[in-house]
Each structure stands twice: as structure tokens, then as C-alpha cells.
Amino acid sequence: MLTLNPMNSSFNKLLTFKTMITALMIIVFSINFLLIERVDALSDSRQLVLDAWTLVNEGFYDPEKFDEVQWKRIRQKTLQKQIETSEEAYSAIEDMLRPLEDPYTRILRPKDYELLKSSNFGSEINGVGLQLGEDDDKKVKVISTLGGSPAEEAGIVSGDLIETVDGISSEKLGLASTASKLRGESGTKVLVEVSSESGEIREVDLERRSVDLRPVRTKRLRDDSHTIGYLRITQFSESVPKKVEEALRELKDKEVEGLILDLRNNSGGLVSSGIAVADSLLSEKPIVETKDRNGIKDAIISQKETSFDGPMVTLVNKGTASASEILAGSLQDNERSILMGEKTYGKGLIQSLKSLGEDSGIAITVASYLTPKGNNIQGQGMTPDKLLDLPDASDYGSTDDKWVRNAELFLGSLLEKEEESVQTIELNDEEIKS
């Protein structure tokens, strides 16, 4: 007689149930694992946006702007966007920064970040050789061209407007993206539409190449009466203060009596380098005042020792900007040097460069600066003591450079007055002795 075993039936059902639960757990675990990977990938990109927001929130020089644009709400709305890749994160950060209306606070994609670091710390850069800014109408404007660059050879000058780059409007691109599109590998070409201050529009086909920055150049100028040193600084990179010290020592060894400091078309660079050069030319004098987000003015005072204490003329033009304006302003306000040339560009904001992620960065405007006498340069520029209504030379410092010749003649007259003053003192001493 056969009997059914209820234990076997229950056991089979239990085994089937356990098998189903195990399979279900494996499926759920697999799905969760995939979701975790997905969330982590999204988190990296979103973290990039959040890090950028935090850095700007902590450092931006004008916190009142945050209330005006509802800065915290912008963060919330930005993080609600689809941000799955680094490129989507960069675009989201650009959108997030736009309401601040500060073209100098900007995201730097890996290529731009690397190029900016190389220009600040290296001796050459690949591109067309344009230093760009924005005018009052938010149009992309040429601050200056680098000497020997494709842009200079094509006749692009300070004050020109960049209308399009490879057919794309600079207004649509914005300052940072316009500058980025102009950079690139040596040998590649870029088509640029440029408009002059007179309204003339032309297309220029530029071939990118490695531009030797040579930030410090020097020579000795001699005439029948005097020996004058000529020192040109094209930009303020990390190596400049040391190179300037070496150049001044070399000129002193050649027994120069006066110095022409040429800052034409120097669009700036590292503010710390500009301040260091001012320190080498001033003795216990204020160099600059910086005004941070809390309204605190912090004055920087030069040390006692100087590298050159003879008479000076400093040449400036509308391409003189930022760190070079700090230097020129400190020399003018302390009556250390006569300024000669054109009104300067007028960039009085200081940026801090921060790393963002592994290979990108963000530039943040952290302070504004004032000259020792409290003059605000931002948007106004500096007016020289002696204006020069002369065409700019094609080769700065050459024998055809009328600006340098004017500075040389002015220095010569100063030196002659000093000699006459010394002779008068000597005659007076002789009268006293007799």
C-alpha cells in the first residue's frame, strides 16, 4: 500500500520558494549594483557643479550680487538639470555663473585650464596671440596682441572687436569660449571676423602656432650725453620678478642713468608678479590696496631695498591692463615715475584660480584693487601724466619707436636738470668754504 508523504510535498514547496527568493535577491542586488554605479557616475558630475558653486559662494568679491540673482535658488535649479557627463557639468556651471555678469569668473575646461597655467608659469603658448576682455556692451574686445604672434602680423590691434570665430558669433560664445576657440594645436587654422573702432569689418585667416612669450626684454640706449636702460615687460608670469631683477642688475652694470619701463600691450597675468616688480622699484611705499568681499582694504607696502632708484619713465597704452596697471599706478601715485602714452584699459579686478576636479579649474573674481591714492581703475583706466598722440610702433623698442624716443628725450632733460642742481649745490658749497 502506497501512502503520500506530506513532508516531501512541503519540502519541495519550501525549496522552490527559497530558490525563487534567492533568484529575486540576485536580481534585486544586480539592479541595485547597476543603480549604485549609475548614481556614483551622476554624483561625480553633479559634485563638480556643487564644488564650483561652493567656491564661488565662498570667494566672489561682491556677495550682494548673490541676493540680487537668488544665488541659492540657482544652485537648486542647476542641480535639477540632467548632468551625467563632465561636459554637461561644464555647461551647467556656465549657465549658473552667467547671472553674476562677471566675464572673469568662469569655468576652465581641461584644455583651457592647462593653457592658462602654461601661460602663467611657462614661456610659450599655442594660439593666435590675442589677449581678450569685454567692453561696456559685453562685446569681446582685444586688449592687446602678443609680439610676434599671428594676430599681430595680421594687423589686429588693441580696441578691435572679435565678431565671429569660425562663423560663430562671439556674443553667443561669450568671452571664455571665444578665447578657447582661438587656442589650439600649432598648424591648425581659425577664421576670425574682426571689426575696428572705425567700424570696418574684415575676415582674417589665422594659423595657430607656438608664441614665444619672452616676458622680459632689455637693451641699452645711448646718445651723446646719456646712457638709458630700456626694460619691456610683456606679461606677468611667475618667472618675471626674478628676470626683472636680473635685467636691472645687468643695466646697472652698464651704468645706465635712467630707465624706460615699457608696459604697452601688457594685459596682466599674475598679480603677485606685478606687485613683486613694484616692490623692486619702490622703497617703503604703498603699492596697492585690495578691497575684498567684506569691504576690507588691505594695503601692500614695498620693502626698503630697491633694485633701481634712478629716474624713470613708464610707457602705457590702451592695451596696458590688470597687473601692469597695478605696477603703473603704484609708480605714478608715489611720484616714482612719469607715465607717458595713452589711457590704460581699466581692469581693476583680481581673479583667483582654483582646481576643479582632476583636470579642470575655475577662475573667480575675489577682490578689486585701488591705487595708493585710492583711485579705482576698474572700467576707468589710468590717465598718463603726458599723453602721446603718436602711432604705435610695429616693433616696440626699435629705433623707429617714437614713443621710446619721446621717453628718452624726457629722461635726458630730467638728467640734465639733476646735473645742473648738483653743480649749483657744489658752487654753493664752495662759496660757504671761501
Active site residues: 322, 333, 347
User: 285-304 in b/e burial notation, b at 16+ Cβ within 10 A?
Assistant: bbbbbbbebeeeeeebebee
Beta bridge partners, 142, equal: 132
Q: Which three cell numbers stand for residue 134?
A: 569685454
Helix axes 170-182, 110-121, angle to 10 degrees: 60
The C-alpha atoms of residue 320 and residue 143 are separated, in whole angstroms, by 8
The helix/strand/coil state of 422 is helix
* 3-class SS of residue 305: coil
Among residues 267, 258, 163, 270, which one has the least CA distance to residue 220?
258
In degrees, to the nearest 5, what angle opens at C-alpha 15 toward C-alphas 10 and 17?
A: 95
Q: How far is CA 313 from the centre of its chain?
A: 25
CB contact at 8 A, 182 and 192:
yes
